[in-house]
Amino acid sequence: MNLTVAEENYIKSIYKLQDGQAVVSTNAIAYDLDTKPASVTDMAKKLKEKKLIDYEKYQGISLTPEGKRIAIQIVRRHRLWECFLVDKLSFSWDEVHEIAEELEHVRSEKLINRLSEFLGNPTTDPHGDPIPDAQGKFSKNKQLVSLDKATARRLEVAGVSDQSSSLLEFLNAKGIKLGTQIDVIERYEFDNSVEIKIRNQSAFTISEQVSKNIMVKIL
């Protein structure tokens, strides 16, 4: 199956949006890929033809098993390149997404497997997202909760659910990165903001938008 870059981007987007959902809407994909619903409909017909998605008009889109398999391989490539950029080329976590968005389309099994080995077969990327192995298996990922829903007092940052550089830059500025230990000082009901404290720093408050996108595990 030889896919174009555009087809790969659609497959990956559908995979991301499906997560639990039975079916993904035309509009959701268009929004995610910054394109127009009409373009999504056009592409849906092509991907259906290639048996990578199930699609009946007005009924939404979902990946076939083969489509899902391919999506996971693209995710693997994306996340391994992100690791490379951060671990080997000292990029910071807010700079790697766009570059990986291109590198993920260089298709060579040997390349990606050698890259994985070179990086020590990492199982999570710089944003805390799990990296599937060559067979598409995800290592059992620890139950993560978003900071706004976590109940424990002492937490460790284990991921971010939004990859936008605006969020990542904000977290950089506040000294929050993967592995950072956080103590929850107070939760304010009025706006759902959270006052937190990082070791050796004075406490500060973050908004609900931010806390929703910080994934944590309980220590």
Residue number with CB closer to a second copy (64 or 92): 92
Tell whether residue 35 is a contact of DNA (CB under 7 A). Answer: yes
How do strand 193-198 and strand 181-188 relate by DSSP bridges?
antiparallel
User: Of Mn ion, DNA, a second copy, none, which one does residue 99 interact with (CB within 5 to 8 Å by kind)?
Assistant: a second copy
User: Of Mn ion, a second copy, DNA, none, which one does residue 127 interact with (CB within 5 to 8 Å by kind)?
Assistant: Mn ion
Both structure tokens of 181: 């230990």
CA 62, distance to chain mean position in Å, is 19
Return the SS3 of 169.
helix
The answer to whether 160 touches 128, Cβ cutoff 8 Å, is yes
End-to-end, the C-alpha distance of the chain in Å comes to 44
Tell me the C-alpha distance between 115 and 106, whole Å.
12
- Residue count, binding to DNA (CB under 7 A): 26
Tell which one of 87, 101, 169, 183 touches Mn ion (CB under 5 A): 101
User: Of a second copy, Mn ion, DNA, none, which one does residue 58 interact with (CB within 5 to 8 Å by kind)?
Assistant: DNA
Segment 98-117, which members bind a second copy (CB under 8 A)?
98-99, 102-103, 105-108, 110-111, 114-115
The answer to whether 182 touches 125, Cβ cutoff 8 Å, is no
Cα pseudo-dihedral 212, 99, 179, 217, rounded to 10: 40
Handedness of CA 209, 175, 127, 30 (dihedral sign): positive
116-155 footprint of a second copy as x/- string (CB under 8 A)? --x-------------------------------------
Both structure tokens of 92: 């910071």
User: Of Mn ion, DNA, a second copy, none, which one does residue 110 interact with (CB within 5 to 8 Å by kind)?
Assistant: a second copy
Residues found near Mn ion in the complex (CB under 5 A): 9, 82, 101, 125, 127, 129
Contact residues for a second copy (CB under 8 A)?
85, 88-91, 95, 98-99, 102-103, 105-108, 110-111, 114-115, 118
